[in-house]
Structure 1
Amino acid sequence: MENREPLKPYLLAYPGPLRDQLVAAVLSGQKVSTTGLLAEYEAEKEELPPVGERSALIDSDGREVAVIELTEVRVLRLGEVDLRHALDEGEGYASVAEWRAGHEAFWHGDEMREALGDPGFEVDDETLVVAERFRVTERF
């Protein structure tokens, strides 16, 4: 960690048990993909990250625990997410339907709706998502 340029933080979920679970899955190699809402990027006025971007994976305590490098970034309709992507999220989903139910629960939660500024936010098959694939390049 010494003498390196600061990296943009890579945040999975919100601090707490879910983030801890996701970070552990990344560190174990089970999680090599993630999905976010394009609306999140728009609400935060952020550009999509480019392939090759390196970021610091952050745990619930705000510590950098690893460096990840993006290997793929795709924007697609929620209805187009396939089984490979769902399995590669490393959260134990056995089907796209299970994956989607878990993600809809998160995206329809109070924290996400507040972040988007839309208390009634809901997703459907046409909702645009950002599917990212990554690899761990360094652990701290």
Structure 2
Amino acid sequence: MANREPLKPFLLAFPGPLRDRLVAAVLSGEKVSTSGLLAEYEAEREELPPVGERSALIDSDGREIAVVELTEVRVLPLGSVGLRHALDEGEGYTSVAGWRAAHEAFWHSEEMREALGDPSFTVDDDTMIVAERFRVVERLG
């Protein structure tokens, strides 16, 4: 994609082993959805991405690995996340409970609390999340 417009970064987790696993799952086609906190968009004063937006999937070294296109963006309470979304995250979840436990651990991590500017941040069934579906449209490099 020479001479293309710069793309917004598509960041999964924080740099490190988790991001590396998630990027690999996207590239393999196992991961076609992701979840974020609406509070994170609010803390960063970011608009929600529109369906059709293309972004650059970024690895732990900051390299653009692929171009992904959003196919769906939903805002819903954490307690409403269904099994299809959990399975499509491509991280081996077989239940919503397993998906939720892993995501709560991440969202309650020191790194996430620091990113949100709230050292005691916690989630519950009413916490609003942003559920995104995407597809890889091009591999880079």
TM-score of the pair, normalised by structure 2: 0.99
What whole-Å deviation, never above 9, does each CA across 1:31-56 have from its counterpart, x for those lacking one?
Answer: 00000000000000000000000000
1:1-140 correspondence to structure 2 within 5 Å: 1-140=1-140
Q: What is the deviation of 1:2?
A: 1.1
Contiguous gaps of at least 5 residues in structure 2: none
Residue 97 of structure 1 aligns to a residue in which SS?
A: helix
Residue 85 of structure 2 aligns to a residue in which SS?
A: helix
What whole-Å deviation, never above 9, does each CA across 1:34-79 have from its counterpart, x for those lacking one?
Answer: 0000000000000000000000000000000000000000000000
Cα-Cα RMSD: 0.4
Percent sequence identity over matched residues? Answer: 83
Contiguous gaps of at least 5 residues in structure 1: none
Aligned length: 140
Quote the Cα distance in structure 2 between the aligned partners of 1:32 and 1:26. 7
TM-score of the pair, normalised by structure 1: 0.99
